[in-house]
Structure 1
Amino acid sequence: MLKKLVLMLVALAAALPAVAQGPDALGTWKESPAKSAIVSFVTAVTTPGSPDFVAPADRIATFDNDGTLWPELPMYTQLAFALDRAKALVPMHPEWKTQQPFKAVLEGDLKALGAAGERGLAQIVGATHAGMTNDQFAAIVQDWLAKARHPRFQRPYTDLAYQPMLEAMAYLRSNGFTVYIVSGGGVEFMRPWMDRVYGVPPQRVVGSSIKTRFEMRDGRPELFRLPEVNFIDDGPGKPVGINAAVGARPIAAFGNSDGDLQMLQWATRSGRRGLGVIIHHDDGEREYAYDRASPFGRLDRALDAAKANGWAVVSMKDDWARIFAAKP
């Protein structure tokens, strides 16, 4: 009888959230409707007997990266990387000095670069991200991140993770969630540093990709990167990417732009309780203020959809006591 009672107590302890898993873990989140929405949702889906209870295996949360976990202005970090790579490769491609969109890159002509559109950006990515193995590319990314500095904050990009979002991910993990990062950025650009910065291992990173080919090089098996787009993990591509990589629908999704709209819909309109959170950049003093008219991270349709879908809209200005994990 005593043994049976002990086993029951152990099972109950495992099922109930611990004190350390509570809302106090969200230390830089001010008391607000957004924080309440997160805490209420987590409590509902982790409490045994709750009509919204979800087994730990099905507690999946997805986070966008650019603009959700770190800054995306004045341009996406990977774009800054691609532009620096293009400049470094000019000696091997003198024709770029007169050939668009590379001419715009070398001259810093953002207007001409914007006019090149997605096709032009694809050309730049193909020229700067391909022609090497995955391991070689990862080393180049790590080397660039160690040296590059954000133009406004003059800190390494990896120092600019949002502290409240690090807390949100830790809070979810402590309550039995598996956290994935689902970004429009290149998956191989993100994987080398995601675990160090966010605590998310490479196998839980979903992103855009270029085509790769298996090759034996000097007796070693390698994946060689080709200058061809394989998959774009943005907008309607995000649910497709999640399904392919995760094999399950998330019950919580965090984003900041129209590129995250379909991911939030996928997570919250499944017939069971879901959590949708949008990070609204409205703090021009501590970070940036932008939404509907921004060339990067435009938040327009998703902002309108938030009210209709009951998603939490986080004001960086009003809801976060602190923005960066490391003070710029």
Structure 2
Amino acid sequence: MNKRIYLLITATFAIALICLSGLTSPTPVHATDDPLPSWNDGRVKQAITEFVSRVTTANSPDFLLREDRIATFDNDGTLWVEKPVIQGMFVLDRLKKMAAADPSLKQKQPYKAVLEEDVAYFKQAGEAAVMELLAATHANMTQEQFEQEVRTFFKTGVHPTLKVSYTRVTYKPMVELLEYLRANGFQTWICSGGGIDFMRVVSQQLYGIPPQQVIGSNGKAEFIQKDGKFAIWRLPEVGRINDKVGKPVGINLHIGKRPVFAAGNERSGGDIAMLTYSQGRPGASFQLLINHDDAQREFAYQEPDNASLNAAKVNGWNVVSIQKDWKTVFFQ
């Protein structure tokens, strides 16, 4: 594993701990039907509906065939909250259960560091500690066993700040946007730095996105015979990281064409490459960047270097102010 991959994996755990403290167009959904009722009427909402109208109207110079209406969405901070990172909380939840069954883990590193929220430990312990955590929480089990662990987490887990189930921390305006795009013949995909197998368990339930339309980071696996049956066995090794410049590569690998619509959020610069990739396609395209500026209803945070918002300004991307553009943030 190279240094870049190690740092990305380490950051996932660190963020979670820190935060604990067709050929023809379908019938368009017309603007008068208000397909985005949780959005305030404003420049961003108008830009979205105007773009969809342009690319789905048959006599428009920007008309796109249905097979070209590809929309990709980041997940953490774009479709659901990322404070804390939900997959990081899954790791913590798994380790707490393991420690309850085996109390000796509370005094054994790296488990002790996670349970005590000791972020500094991982900066010193290095790759071996991270890999041990991945093995304990994501690997050395069958694919079916891992998926069951994820389902249990979403069935029982509660967001530490919002005090609701993790299945209720999706953004209502973004779910409406997904539905609006699909009603107009778009394919909607998730393209996230999060674990592909983690997101696939709930993508259909939360977003109406089937698991085969989820792109994410992944670990290695092999097909083996275990207990007399053949199964996918999850290995404690990183496959590929689907973040930053890895997102266009993942899109090309899974879809084979540039998205005409791409949505991400500001926090780590993780979506700049995906939005740039979308904008580089010939013809019409649309880029959406969510700015987390609503401390009252969600969370307020910015990038230290302001890279994503600066890129949006330079490239003319549409920036969503959660405070100003969304009537409501979450489902009631």
Kept in 1, the 8 Å contact 2:312–2:318? The answer is: yes
Partner of 2:4: none
Cα shift at 1:119? 7.2
Cα shift at 1:189? 0.7
Distance 1:284 1:179, change over 3 A: same
Aligned residues with identical type, % of pairs: 44
Kept in 2, the 8 Å contact 1:22–1:171? The answer is: no
CA displacement 1:115-169 (0-9 Å, x = unmatched): 7688754542233100101110000110111111001111111111111001100
Paired with 1:199 and 1:19, the residues of 2 have a C-alpha distance of 18
Paired with 1:204 and 1:157, the residues of 2 have a C-alpha distance of 21
1:26 partnered with 2:36: yes
Q: 1:177 aligns with which of 186, 195, 204?
A: 186
After the TM superposition, which of the residue ranges 117-126 and 152-161 deviates more from structure 2? 117-126
Paired with 2:31 and 2:122, the residues of 1 have a C-alpha distance of 46
Partner of 1:89: 98
Which structure: larger Rg?
1
Q: 2:282 aligns with which of 260, 264, 271?
A: 271
Cα shift at 1:20? 5.4
Cα shift at 1:95? 6.0
**SS of 1:306 mapped into structure 2:** helix
Q: What RMSD, in angstroms, separates the aligned Cα atoms of the two structures? A: 2.3
Paired with 2:168 and 2:85, the residues of 1 have a C-alpha distance of 15
Partner of 1:39: 49
TM-score, normalization by structure 1: 0.87
Q: 1:134 aligns with which of 143, 156, 159?
A: 143
1:249-288 equivalences under 5 Å are 249-257=258-266, 258-288=269-299
Cα shift at 1:106? 1.9
Cα shift at 1:280? 0.7
**SS of 1:279 mapped into structure 2:** strand
5+ unaligned residues in a row in structure 2: which ranges?
1-21
Paired with 1:66 and 1:112, the residues of 2 have a C-alpha distance of 25
Kept in 2, the 8 Å contact 1:183–1:233? The answer is: yes
Number of residue-to-residue matches in the alignment:
308
1:62 partnered with 2:62: no
Distance 1:131 1:262, change over 3 A: same
**2:244 maps to amino acid:** G
1:302 partnered with 2:302: no
Paired with 1:85 and 1:223, the residues of 2 have a C-alpha distance of 21
Kept in 1, the 8 Å contact 2:31–2:49? The answer is: no
Partner of 1:7: none
1:311 partnered with 2:321: no
Distance 1:159 1:43, change over 3 A: same
CA displacement 1:71-110 (0-9 Å, x = unmatched): 100x20000111121232235594662424x321121224
Cα shift at 1:111? 4.6
5+ unaligned residues in a row in structure 1: which ranges?
1-10, 294-298
Kept in 1, the 8 Å contact 2:29–2:184? The answer is: no
Paired with 1:26 and 1:118, the residues of 2 have a C-alpha distance of 45
Distance 1:120 1:57, change over 3 A: same
Distance 1:92 1:224, change over 3 A: farther
1:95-134 equivalences under 5 Å are 97-100=107-110, 102-113=111-122, 121-134=130-143
CA displacement 1:45-95 (0-9 Å, x = unmatched): 11112221111111000011110011100x200001111212322355946
Distance 1:147 1:24, change over 3 A: same
Paired with 1:120 and 1:279, the residues of 2 have a C-alpha distance of 34
**2:308 maps to amino acid:** A
Kept in 2, the 8 Å contact 1:21–1:174? The answer is: no
Paired with 1:15 and 1:87, the residues of 2 have a C-alpha distance of 51
